[in-house]
Amino acid sequence: MTVYNDILSAKAESKKLLAILIDPDKFDIDLTSQFIDNVHKSIATHIFVGGSEVQVEVTQHLVFKLKSLTDLPIVLFPGDVTQISKDADAILFLSLISGRNPKYLIEKQIEAVSYLKPTNLEVIPTGYILIENGKETAVQKVTKTQPISNVLHQLVADTAKAGELLGKKLIYLEAGSGALHPVPLAMITAVKQDLTIPLIVGGGIRSKKQLVDAYNAGADLVVIGTAFEEDQDFFNQIKKTKIG
């Protein structure tokens, strides 16, 4: 079964998913084994790998190391084509549909084709929507696009639905790495009501309560990254017990 079909099956069964996001530029590869031990003890179901600005070859080395230590799906969440690794299981083929910079709507995707052809990566078309969180994020700086205001719930819901109608298989609401505020719960609910495809939510989630709240609001898969970078004890909050 493919990564995407696993996500679909979980959605159909109302099983909530959790991805741990690793930014290769901020991760000490020497601590990979210890990190994976913690992941395996947690409710995490996926590992996402990627960042806004990552040095060439760093992602490849990290993914290779991760694959030797875990059977969890390794999914690329790339900020650039240089982050494509043939050893991962899948790639979120992102289109930044909240922005209007053609470079991140289609040009980077065209550039990625020659990198993807020699691989067996499962390519998952994903509508990526950046939500204002109280501070400028790395995604804003790199893409030179503005996030959608966190009070414009209907605009975000319409943008997400447009992504689905365009053929995206996933919608990803992103407050950004280190976000001061996560995606508003009412916004998650508004988006979920209009979608038939799975909804991913990430950015600014730093506690078990916020994780559960995002699930209850409608997120099918939540992505957490900064919480683990800043608080290693967070793993203790999400040990393998029923949640949500």
Average pLDDT value for residue range 164-180: 95
Q: Which two tokens stand for residue 77?
A: 């969440």
State residue 56's pLDDT score: 84
Question: Higher pLDDT residue, 104 or 232?
Answer: 104
Q: Among the residues of the chain, which ranges form H helices?
A: 3-12, 32-40, 58-67, 102, 108-116, 138-143, 153-165, 185-194, 208-217, 226-230, 234-237
Check whether 242 has a pLDDT greater than 60: no
59, 42 Cβ separation under 8 angstroms: no
| Residue 178: band (very low, low, confident or very high) from pLDDT cuts 50, 70, 90 | confident
Averaged pLDDT for residues 153-169: 98
pTM of the complete model: 0.96
User: Residue 97 has what pLDDT?
Assistant: 98
Helix, strand, or coil here: 176? coil
pLDDT tens per residue, range 15-33 = 999 999 999 988 999 999 9
| Residue percentage of the chain with pLDDT more than 90 | 85
- pLDDT, tens digit, 9 for 90 and up, residues 217-228: 999 999 998 777
Q: What is the mean pLDDT of the chain?
A: 94
235: confidence class by pLDDT, cuts 50, 70, 90: confident
